[in-house]
Structure 1
């Protein structure tokens, strides 16, 4: 018994929001690159680089969003449901790469500080705050839907926070001529990017590697299934996420009696209801067994 929880209209909305955010960030990036070169601000250029990574990540997310809607086929039996997880992995990786580049540049600039046109820094950081803030509001609701949207949302949120830091630095440079703060802020932005990127990268990797979801314990699931009186043992158990919306369970179930196929269908429905309501597992594949000489350990190396 399947459980379909598709949300077609929401997918259409998030696709439009992503597209709008892409064009908005292209404009912000161009403005910051020009302003950073004219002002000499590394923090502004680093923010522009981060914004450019936003554009790339949003493009990846947008393409993944389109691919994830494609139907399954004989050659692609799961369709492109994992496209958004791959997009989240790519986006998280780019966050970390960008952070490393910023750290290298900040260290070099810290050793050789230069005067900076603080007025340009202030106005362009304000532009970035408004633009990224609007994009964050557009994607906030959809960011709870899956890792792909969360990765795009985090890119924009961290960039908005970085722009706030750049604005603060611009004000310090304008009124106190503290130009080294530009490098310090760049380092702070980079460290934050690594923290956020690593957490997202770890989550995406777990899904891609078919790890058991961290909030599920296989022992508890097996024990719960065995509370059904006709079931003797559950083994060869695998639980994994295909994407954010689908959690799959596969197991061998040993029965006390040699039941009929119709009886098995009844028990299968009972198992599906149990694991869906208790653990959110919405795709179940059970191999029935009776009196079979088989390794009955919970986990078996296939």
Structure 2
């Protein structure tokens, strides 16, 4: 027996805006990538070609995020009873993993470039990296707000932010090589950016993995919740508890409750409503599914491995 205590309302307009911002960012990054490939070939700049590669990885990650954002709007069905609510978490996981891979490649590249500094032959590099900074900077601003509350958007945002920083490194490197012949700066900047990327990417990878693995969110103290529900009149025992996060909007609680008496359905409904109010108000749990029991012979531990 269970109730869904859904305090969420779909923000269709907001979702459309997210999709639109992602789409604009995709187009901008495709343009930047093409410009940098042409510029890199014409100027013979390895830095610019590697920056183009990062931009291309941005395009792929943005496409993944865009598809995930679209999928979440698809309706649930008999085969997909949750719909595609986890698509954005999956996208965040994929993008965080690629973020770390790109960072490792950046470090390898930075070390190689440090040993063999590349002479940049043209002002073209400076101008193109400046254009890339503007393009990525605009994309970063577009996604910043949603990145604070959505793992998928954060993964796209981090790809773009890193790319903007990499373009800044190319620009600074280009200017220092042009005026001061300091060829090592580019490598050092690239290395620092890559370390930052690993640090941010790991955090995102860890959080998205926790959701995909159905781990209980860090903010949910299961034992405390069980103790609070146990204080209710007529409740003898709360056991067989599962708490998991479906996506960034939904936290589910599932439990068996053993009652002191053989209560009626209407009495159970009243208690269920009180439980729902408690867990939503204090812990933001918005889906509750309770199995009522009376005198049933089963394991009474809080956590039962199914």
User: Which of the five TM-score ranges fits, normalised by the shorter chain?
Assistant: over 0.9
**Residue 98 (1) aligns with residue 102 (2):** yes
Secondary structure of residue in 2 paired with 1:141:
helix
**Residue 277 (1) aligns with residue 281 (2):** yes
Aligned pairs (5 A) from 1:132-211: 132-211=136-215
Report the Cα offset of residue 118 of structure 1. 5.5
Secondary structure of residue in 1 paired with 2:243:
strand
Q: Cα distance 1:155–1:7, how it changes in 2: closer, same or farther (>3 A)? A: same
**Residue 45 (1) aligns with residue 49 (2):** yes
Distance 2:36 2:228 in 1: 57
Cα pair 2:89 2:152 within 8 Å, conserved? yes
Q: Cα distance 1:257–1:14, how it changes in 2: closer, same or farther (>3 A)? A: same
Report the Cα offset of residue 155 of structure 1. 1.3
In structure 1, the residue matched to 2:249 is 245
Distance 1:65 1:192 in 2: 26
Which residue, 292, 295, 301 being the options, matches 1:297?
A: 301
In structure 2, the residue matched to 1:27 is 31
Secondary structure of residue in 2 paired with 1:140:
helix
Cα pair 1:47 1:163 within 8 Å, conserved? yes
Q: Where do 5+ consecutive residues of structure 1 fail to align?
A: none
Task: Output the aligned Cα RMSD.
Answer: 1.5
**Residue 58 (1) aligns with residue 62 (2):** yes
Distance 1:117 1:296 in 2: 73
**Residue 85 (1) aligns with residue 89 (2):** yes
Cα pair 2:172 2:186 within 8 Å, conserved? no
Secondary structure of residue in 2 paired with 1:196:
helix
CA shift digits 1:155-202 (9 cap, x unpaired): 112222222222222221121101122222222222222111111111
Distance 1:22 1:6 in 2: 25
| Greater shift in the superposed pair: 135-144 or 270-279 | 135-144
Cα pair 1:249 1:283 within 8 Å, conserved? yes
Q: Cα distance 1:186–1:38, how it changes in 2: closer, same or farther (>3 A)? A: farther
Distance 1:45 1:232 in 2: 67
Report the Cα offset of residue 133 of structure 1. 1.2
Report the count of equivalent residues.
302
Report the Cα offset of residue 2 of structure 1. 2.5
Report the Cα offset of residue 19 of structure 1. 0.6
In structure 2, the residue matched to 1:263 is 267
| Greater shift in the superposed pair: 117-126 or 192-201 | 117-126
Normalised to the residue count of structure 2, the TM-score between the two structures is 0.94
**Residue 128 (1) aligns with residue 132 (2):** yes
Report the Cα offset of residue 205 of structure 1. 0.5
In structure 2, the residue matched to 1:115 is 119
Secondary structure of residue in 2 paired with 1:249:
strand
Distance 1:233 1:47 in 2: 60
Report the Cα offset of residue 65 of structure 1. 0.8
Distance 1:71 1:176 in 2: 59
Runs (4+) of structure 1 exceeding 3 A deviation are 37-43
Secondary structure of residue in 1 paired with 2:255:
strand
Q: Cα distance 1:299–1:118, how it changes in 2: closer, same or farther (>3 A)? A: farther
